[in-house]
Amino acid sequence: MAKYLIKRVALALVSLFLVCFITFFTMNAIPGGPFNGEKAKSAAVMQVLNERYGLDKPVGEQFFNYLKNILHGDFGVSLKTGRDIATTIGESFKVSAKIGLLAILVALIFGIILGAIAALNRNKWPDRVIIFFVTLFTAMPSFVMASFLLLIFCIQLEWVPVWSTNNPSYVLPVLALSLSPMAYITRLTKTSMLDVLGQDYIRTARAKGVAHWKVIFVHALRNSLIPVITYVGPLTASILTGSLVIEKIFTIGGLGSKFVDSITNRDYTMIMGTTIFLAFIMILMNLVSDILYKIVDPRIKLD
């Protein structure tokens, strides 16, 4: 177990380093990139940049300075606004995190429940209905889903108000963000459960005289959830990337929309900072997911 842990953590660190590396050097390769002076910038910004990154030093050293600063929580300064990036990220992420966490919970809870219902009613109407929607939703990109939801519920039916910071309405964004992953989790749970229900040890439990509901909810579910738990990592990644478009569509001022804006505005330092931050979260969640898997499945406990 320890050996596995070390391997996984090492891999995560390597990935994070690679991301920083790619981010830094690609952004710098752009003419007018973050730190070179081909594009005219305001004197104040140039001064700050010079102080922090030593722009006259060789690129490699600049990179290490950048890394050092990141480790201290200093992500630099936005090229457009001059504001401290770390603060911006911190503030805007609060909103995104709230929506994201809700979306993860909704996707997991409903996904598992629906998947179990589908598995237990195989080929009967609940299964068919669920599978129909699952197939449909996995074919819908999140921006399509979000746009439709906005169109129908916000604009045409006016059931839900438009998002504003004073009057945040979480229903639609969370729904739009969670429907696609929920569909995937539903299918995953269903397949996993069907697989488990066909196993010999379920037959043993029945043969012992264990009540039907207990066989399903105790003996089968524990085993069925194992693949779902390993999906938590990719789930987080999908929610994070989905938030970029969701926030844009619902005009929510979260980290996602700030990221998209920085792309459109060519705010390279902001792009770098946000990318590294988001990458960190994704890599962390993948690591957590892998570790959770090893904990939950006792077969791997002793290694």
Partner 1 sequence: MAKNFDIPTPKKRLLSLQMDPKKFEPATDAEKRQQDVMAESTTFFRDGMRRLMQNPLAVMSMVILLLVILMMIFAPLFVPYGYEEMITVNGVRDPAAANLAPFHYSALEQQYIDQGGKIFPHIMGTDELSRDYFIRVVYGTRVSFLVGVFASLMVLIIGVLYGAVSGYAGGRVDLWMMRIVDIIYSLPDLLIIILLAVVFKESLDFSQIPIFANLGTNMVSMFIVFGLLYWVGMARLVRGQILTIKENEYVLAAKSIGASAKRIIQKHIIPNIVSVIIIMTAQEIPAAIFTESYLSFIGLGVALPMPSLGSLANAARSGMQSYPWKLVFPSVMIILIVLAFNLIGDALRDAFDPKLRK
Partner 2 sequence: MSEQKIRKINVRVANPKPHRASSDHPVLSVENLHTSFITDSGEVKAVNGVSFNLDAGKILGVVGESGSGKSVTAYSILQILDQNGRIVDGDIKFKGKSLLEYGPKEMDAFRGNNCSIIFQDPMTSLNPVFTVGYQMNEALKLHTKYNTTKLATERSIQLLEMVGVNEPEKRLKQYPFELSGGMRQRVMIAMALACEPDILIADEPTTALDVTIQAQILELMKDLQKKLGMAIILITHDLGVIASMCDEIIVMYGGRVCERGTAEDIFYRPAHEYTKGLLKSIPNTDNMKERLVPIAGTPINLLNMPKGCAFCPRCENALKICLEEVPEELMMPDGHFAACWMNLKNEYEKEHGKEVS
- Of these partners, partner 1, partner 2, none, which one is at the site of residue 200 (CB under 5 to 8 Å by kind)? partner 2
Q: How far apart are CA 41 and CA 75, in angstroms?
A: 19
Give 264's Cβ-side CA count (13 Å radius).
Answer: 8
Looking at the Cβ atoms of 31 and 209, the one nearer to partner 2 is 209
Mark 137-166 with x for binding to partner 1 (rule: CB under 8 A) and - for no binding. -xxxxxxx--xx-xx---xx----------
- Of these partners, partner 2, partner 1, none, which one is at the site of residue 299 (CB under 5 to 8 Å by kind)? partner 2
| Min separation Cβ 42 and partner 1, Å | 21
Helix/strand/coil percent split, the chain, to 5: 75, 0, 25
Q: Hey, what are 8's tokens? A: 């996984």
Q: How far apart are CA 281 and CA 303, in angstroms?
A: 28
Looking at the Cβ atoms of 190 and 258, the one nearer to partner 2 is 190
Looking at the Cβ atoms of 213 and 264, the one nearer to partner 1 is 264
Count CB neighbours of 160 within 10 A: 19
Orientation angle between helical segments 221-230 and 232-249, nearest 10 degrees: 60
| Min separation Cβ 131 and partner 2, Å | 16
183 neighbors 133 (Cβ within 8 angstroms): yes
Identify the CA nearest to 163 among candidates 72, 241, 253: 253
| Min separation Cβ 124 and partner 2, Å | 11
Residue 3, CA distances (Å) to 290, 293, 298, 302 in order: 13, 15, 16, 11
Q: Is there binding between residue 29 and partner 1 (CB under 8 A)?
A: yes
Site for partner 1, residues 229 to 248, rule: CB under 8 A: 237, 241, 244-245, 248
Cα dihedral: 45, 48, 52, 57 (round 10): 70
- Residues ≥6 apart with Cβ < 8 Å to 44: 82
Q: Is there binding between residue 113 and partner 1 (CB under 8 A)?
A: no
Q: Is there binding between residue 37 and partner 1 (CB under 8 A)?
A: no
Q: Hey, what are 220's tokens? A: 């089968």
Q: How far apart are CA 16 and CA 235, in angstroms?
A: 19
**Contact with partner 1 (CB under 8 A): which of 1, 5, 22, 162?**
22
Q: Is there binding between residue 194 and partner 1 (CB under 8 A)?
A: no
| Min separation Cβ 192 and partner 2, Å | 13
The footprint of partner 2 (CB under 8 A) covers 122, 198-212, 219, 222-223, 296-299, 301-302
- Of these partners, partner 2, partner 1, none, which one is at the site of residue 22 (CB under 5 to 8 Å by kind)? partner 1
| Min separation Cβ 208 and partner 2, Å | 4
25 neighbors 63 (Cβ within 8 angstroms): yes
Q: Is there binding between residue 6 and partner 1 (CB under 8 A)?
A: no
| Min separation Cβ 140 and partner 1, Å | 6
Residues in touch with partner 1 (CB under 8 A):
11-12, 14-15, 18-19, 22-23, 26-27, 29-32, 135-136, 138-144, 147-148, 150-151, 155-156, 237, 241, 244-245, 248-249, 260, 263-264, 266, 271, 275, 278-279, 282-283, 286
